[in-house]
Amino acid sequence: MLPKSANLLRVSIIILNWNGRDDTLACLDSLAALTYPNFQAIVVDNGSTDGSASLIKRKFPDIPLIETGANLGFAEGNNVGIRAALEAGADYVLLLNNDTIVAPGLLEAFAEAAAHHPDGGMFTAKIYYHAEPTRLWYAGGKWLQDKQCFVHVGIGEIDDGKKYEAVAETDYASGCALFVSAEVINTLGVMDPKFFLTYEETDWCYRARAAGYRILFVPSAKVWHKVSASFGGVNSPLQLYFYSRNILLWAERHLPRSAYWPLFRETCRDALRFSAGTRQDGALLKRWMWAFTSLWQRLRRGGRDAAGRARYLGFRDYLLRRFGDCPDEVRHLRGGR
């Protein structure tokens, strides 16, 4: 049951739009059904060129719209909205992907969880595929050290209403629907714009955990997600570039060295398509010199396909400490946006 005091908490919902006019309008339509009595939506337009801003203003004149004038990425675009929300006196902020539809009781579910779990720093929703409304996309996230990747708990399963029904700790809260208090934001700061796109919320969650907060999955908070709309499809060059680069930036900050180096090697191998360090003869330095020489040669020649090229560029830019937005070349690769 929702404590009476929770009804007084002011929630700001931040929706970031970048050339996603139709998705954003549908998302805003779904907010009209929310039953929580004290919330305000804020749209941040991230330099769209599809007429999004003018149409959103016309259809939703009462919703504040902030125009950044440039594509600042997921991290900094949301940060703009977060700062505006805090300045307006928000007690909680919900980061909500523009390609989602929400359940009417979403905010009550988050507010109740926050009231009953005061040590919770960040809360996330049960997320379904929009195209298959009973099929799960996310019921929590887990880092698998043996496979050196994150996985979504429950992904692809039909929700039977029994298996994922308890509030539970999760390794990270999905940025698709991330509920966080002003207190936590003031303690941690906002997301790091170096990530630009992907792993920014994961880094944020790990920073929260290091500060003593729990990251919690809230099954009664429900969202339906049009998966990968912002990337132009799963495994697009844009997605592969940021994944290859940003997983290493996240790992260097939050994994022990013993876990970071195997991930680094595997990411290097994936970018180069070679097995670095598998031979037992020869000096380690010699093998790595060969590896990096091979990398630069392949980068100059280009990858054999768009996906390979995107991985090369992501790994290269990690090594060169080039963060923020991707090079223009990545967006021009076949399948990029």
What is the per-residue pLDDT across 87-139, written as a single tens digit (0 to 9) for each? 999 999 999 999 999 999 999 999 999 999 999 999 999 999 999 999 999 99
Strands 65-67 and 39-45: parallel
Residue 77 shares a structural domain with residue 41: yes
Residue 263 shares a structural domain with residue 213: no
pLDDT given at position 297: 58
Contact 116, 127 (CB under 8 A): no
Residue 144 shares a structural domain with residue 39: yes
Tell me the β-bridge partners of 32. none
Residues of the chain short of pLDDT 70, as ranges, are: 1-7, 228-234, 273-304, 334-337
Contact 79, 168 (CB under 8 A): no
> What's the DSSP call for residue 6?
G
Residue 197 shares a structural domain with residue 67: yes
Contact 142, 171 (CB under 8 A): yes
Residue 178 shares a structural domain with residue 310: no
Q: Structure pTM?
A: 0.88
pLDDT given at position 257: 96
Residue 261 shares a structural domain with residue 321: yes
Residue 199 shares a structural domain with residue 251: no
Of 225, 252, 283, the residue that ends a domain is: 225
pLDDT given at position 2: 56
CATH number of the domain bearing residue 186: 3.90.550.60
In a domain, 94, yes or no: yes
In a domain, 276, yes or no: yes
Number of domains in the chain: 2
Distance of CA 34 to the CA centre of its chain: 23
Residue 337 to residue 331: CA distance in whole angstroms: 5
In a domain, 123, yes or no: yes
151 dihedral zone (left: phi>0; alpha: psi -120 to 50; beta):
beta
Residue whose tokens read 């180096």? 261
CA–CA distance from 122 to each of 11, 118, 161 (Å)?
14, 10, 23
Distance of CA 200 to the CA centre of its chain: 6
Residue 290 shares a structural domain with residue 328: yes
Residue 143 shares a structural domain with residue 172: yes
Of 171, 199, 225, the residue that ends a domain is: 225
Contact 246, 195 (CB under 8 A): yes
Q: Which domain holds residue 286?
A: 237-332
pLDDT given at position 276: 37
CA R_g for the chain: 21
In a domain, 230, yes or no: no
Residue 126 shares a structural domain with residue 204: yes
Contact 188, 207 (CB under 8 A): yes
Of 201, 225, 249, the residue that ends a domain is: 225
Residue 43 shares a structural domain with residue 148: yes
Residue 301 shares a structural domain with residue 177: no
Residue 113 to residue 106: CA distance in whole angstroms: 11
Contact 317, 244 (CB under 8 A): no
In a domain, 267, yes or no: yes
